[in-house]
Amino acid sequence: MPQQERPFDLLNKVLGQKVLIKLKGGAQIRGSLSSFDIHMNLVLQDAEELDDGQLRTKMGTILLRGGNILYISPA
C-alpha cells in the first residue's frame, strides 16, 4: 500500500484547530495550533496546561520545543 501522506501533512491540516500535546515527563498542553517547523517546534494560541484532563493553568500563546514532544493529537 503506497503512502499518500507524510506525518507533517497532519500538522498542515490541523493549522488553526485545537490540538492536545503530551510532553516528556507527562505534562499535557491543549491549544490552537498556529505554526510549526521541521523540528516540530509548535506555537499554540489559547493554550492551557492540563492535569489528568482537567484544566490547571491558562497560558495564552506558547512555543513548545519539538524535541520534548511525545505526541500531538487533534482535540
Binding site for a copy of itself (CB under 8 A): 1, 3-12, 15-16, 20, 22-27, 29, 34-37, 40-43, 47, 59-74
C-alpha cell at 15: 493549522
Alpha carbon distances (Å) from 35 to 12, 52, 67, 70, 75? 9, 26, 16, 18, 16
Residue 75: CB minimum distance to a copy of itself, A: 9
Shorter beta-carbon distance to a copy of itself: residue 25 or 54? 25
Q: Which of 53, 52, 15 is nearest to 35 (CA)?
A: 15
Instruction: Compare residues 55 and 66 and give the one whose CB is closer to a copy of itself.
Output: 66
Minimum CB distance to a copy of itself smaller for 7 or for 54:
7
Kindly state the DSSP code that residue 63 receives in the 8-state scheme.
Answer: E
Cell of 12: 498542515
Q: How far is the CB of 55 from a copy of itself (least distance, A)?
A: 15
